[in-house]
Structure 1
Amino acid sequence: MAFVNFFLQLLKDPRSAIAGWITMGVAPTLGFIFIIIFVETGVVFFPFLPGDSLLFAAGFFAAPSASTGQSALPLVALLPVVWCAAVIGDQCNYFIGHFFGRRIIQSGKVKAMTPERVAKTEKMIEKWGALAVFLGRFFPFIRTFMPFISGISGMRWARFTPFSVLGGIVWSTLFTLMGYFFGGIPFVQDHFEVVIVIILLVSLLPTLIGLFKAKFGHKKTPAEAAANPDAESAE
């Protein structure tokens, strides 16, 4: 139960979670941040972890305090930690997919890996190739599934890695610096939980739209398919 409460608190208010870690010291705090980002990215069973909002909250604590001019977390240490967590996590997930992916999917143990999400990830890879690895980094759930599906699909490691490294560094830097520069704004401080929810909703919006279209999108009737066979084959 304590394990579940830990993740619920992290999802609800990452700022309070990091504040609690800081009382234990900078090194443990950086360690916890590394673990959360690594697990979200590198372990296919945990796509629900709040990577975006955690980075934003961490960036907030890296900014100098208006009253003391000191920061609770050194930005020069925080950035390399989140870079390494994202990059190493992708590598881990790629090899999990490469060696065990088919068996994991067939087992049905990853409930979040719905057929719609797998299909959406595979379509991104088919359409964009290795560039999908970079683009997928900015979509929750997709960023967890992308390296996993890349490993299953047979994408070469040498082709996967440059886009994975670039995506991990850009994503982690972007959200950390957003917290660093905007977390100290009075409105953001007074409505921090609301801002976190907005970040989550904006990042989840493309995935939600895709799932909505998959569930409620117009499907051709047999008569429509027979009347327009060329369009059917193009799909």
Structure 2
Amino acid sequence: MLDSFVSIFSALWQQDFAALQNPESIVMIYFCVTFVIWLESAFLPAAPLPCDSIVILAGTLGAMGIIDFKLIVFLLIVAAAVGSWLAYLQGRWLDHLPKVKRWVDMVPPHRMQTVDKLLIRHGIVALFTARFIPVVRPLLPLMMGFRVKNQAHFFRFAWLSATAWVLLLTGLGYLLTLLPENVARVTTMVLMVAPFVTLGIAIISLLSSWLLKRIKKNNIA
């Protein structure tokens, strides 16, 4: 089963429609796409996975009739929402660890109150925006686990943002089939590479910020 999963994931990445059109691969396509979206939404180490691109490609496959469009949209919404909820539960669990608790307590109370207000007032917008940013996608629900204690409130946010995200990207994938084949292929490849570019920019920004702080600290010393 692992070999089949890897081959389908590779076919999705390479846009090998010949392999994806194999009737024996249909079930594995559903499983692979759903599992990858769930994994990346739930666990921070899986953040580099190209999930935006996979969701777009799933919409394209649905438009081509290779898989059922309505079914894959439903599965992706469930995977994204449940994944975010699991990331949120990890935050709730980490909040009980003494060291993490000390870190949170070091933040000034008025700052935490501001965070609470933003999360409660703009939770759906924050979660929706975070879904387009690698690393932030599983990180924000985890951080919300520290502050948003109402699980039902968060779960509503997760479902609404997951639904909007999946509908937007699968719809984009569906519309790609209306473009000329060469243009659609190039556009899809650009969309698949984009998350890695975003991730690279984020890593470079963090490293640059860290180096600048170190240099400034050394100069003061």
User: Normalising by structure 2, what TM-score?
Assistant: 0.69
Amino acid paired to 1:199: A
Once the two structures are superposed, the pairs formed by residues 154-233 of structure 1 within 5 Å of their partners are 154-185=148-179, 186-191=181-186, 194-200=189-195, 204=199, 207=202, 210-211=205-206, 214-215=209-210
Tell me the distance in 1 between the aligned counterparts of 2:135 and 2:47. Answer: 5
Structure 1: stretches of 5+ with no match in the other structure = 65-70, 107-121, 226-235
Amino acid paired to 1:16: D
The Cα of 1:47 is off from its aligned counterpart by 1.4
Amino acid paired to 1:85: A
The Cα of 1:200 is off from its aligned counterpart by 2.2
Residues 1:200 and 1:61: Cα distance change in structure 2 (over 3 Å): same
Structure 2: stretches of 5+ with no match in the other structure = 101-111
The Cα of 1:143 is off from its aligned counterpart by 0.6
Equivalent in 56, 71, 90 of residue 96 of structure 1: 90
Amino acid paired to 2:118: W
Count of equivalent residues: 199
Tell me how large the CA RMSD over aligned residues is: 3.9
Residues 1:204 and 1:147: Cα distance change in structure 2 (over 3 Å): same
In the alignment, is residue 135 of structure 1 matched against residue 129 of structure 2? yes
Residues 1:18 and 1:140: Cα distance change in structure 2 (over 3 Å): farther
The Cα of 1:31 is off from its aligned counterpart by 1.8
The Cα of 1:40 is off from its aligned counterpart by 0.6
The Cα of 1:61 is off from its aligned counterpart by 0.9
- Residue 29 of structure 1 is matched in structure 2 by 29
- Residue 149 of structure 1 is matched in structure 2 by 143
In the alignment, is residue 57 of structure 1 matched against residue 51 of structure 2? no
The Cα of 1:136 is off from its aligned counterpart by 1.6
Larger relative contact order, structure 1 or 2 (CA cutoff 8 Å, min sep 6) = 2
Identity in percent: 20
User: Which has more helix, going by share of residues?
Assistant: 2
User: Normalising by structure 1, what TM-score?
Assistant: 0.66
Residues 1:218 and 1:98: Cα distance change in structure 2 (over 3 Å): closer
The Cα of 1:190 is off from its aligned counterpart by 4.1
Residues 1:181 and 1:193: Cα distance change in structure 2 (over 3 Å): closer
Tell me the distance in 1 between the aligned counterparts of 2:74 and 2:139. Answer: 23
Amino acid paired to 1:173: L
